[in-house]
Structure 1
Amino acid sequence: MKPSDEMLDIVDENDEVVGQARRGEATARRLRHRCVSVEVRDAEGRVFVHRRTPVKPVFPSCYDMFVGGVVGAGETYEEAALREAEEELGVTGLPRPEPLFRFLYTSAEHTWWTAVYQVRCESPVRPQAEEVAWHAFWDDARLERRLDGRAWVPDGLEAYRRLRAFRLPP
């Protein structure tokens, strides 16, 4: 099955399911659906950073500090977070990603509810070649320094900004 044929739940502004559509249609018609973004850290606490392949239909060749993707029809955020993390990293047996928060991402072209998670991956990664063109683990300082100099996926950048605010002490 092509990714564009994958069935997604279409949701309203409150993240309640109101229908279903194929992924290609949801993207083309800007139908609100669900996505997951998983921050992956290695044993040293560094963040997995990667560049998407140029054939990705959304945000091709952009950099991201999250792995993730769409939540399939009938799938939970939790199921999608683990599935997407293991698929994109090319590993099995990850611990269940820890949920942090959700937010509604909107732009002129896209709209989706994003659930943000974190997970530690202590296994060697073998990123999925169809998804990941380049990857590395960066410490937080290096990631911060590189935010302005590269083309980052806009929803990942928004999730990262919200994650930084989420982690600030009260």
Structure 2
Amino acid sequence: MIMRCADVSMSVRTITNGLKPLWAFSIAWILILSAGCSQAPESEHVAISGEVTLGGKPLPSAMIRFTPVKTEPGLHDSVTMISEGHFAFDSTNGPSPGEHHVIVTPLEPEMNEAVAAMQNGDRDPLNSRTIPARYRSTGQLKATIDAANVQPLTFELTKR
């Protein structure tokens, strides 16, 4: 149960009314300390990991974001990097339990890497790694995070 500070104060006055000052003071402190004055609970974080492929090959590098489908106080987005097709969150930065939209955002390759790819005959190295737009927004990919049954996640992206 979440109570605002004003609610706690009113409850303390009601309970301690008519008691001797020392007892009233003791009871008031116990109630205030046990109820607290927080606005919203901090949500749980779940350690998860997984892999992302594009066209059947591990996605070299990108960002992956888990956005809760429900918009409730305490729920948050979780973002981490994908490296060589793998990503991982620990219990301090992972997504909260529940259903999430999953968004995969490309990182721009370094210019030296693009020049080297062109020298090796790749016609369009910058676009060959581009993640299709349908994966860069909510709707296409979803994941349900279950704190009691954590399994590695796999997202298989297609180029077309």
TM-score (norm 1): 0.24
Q: Which structure: greater strand fraction?
A: 1
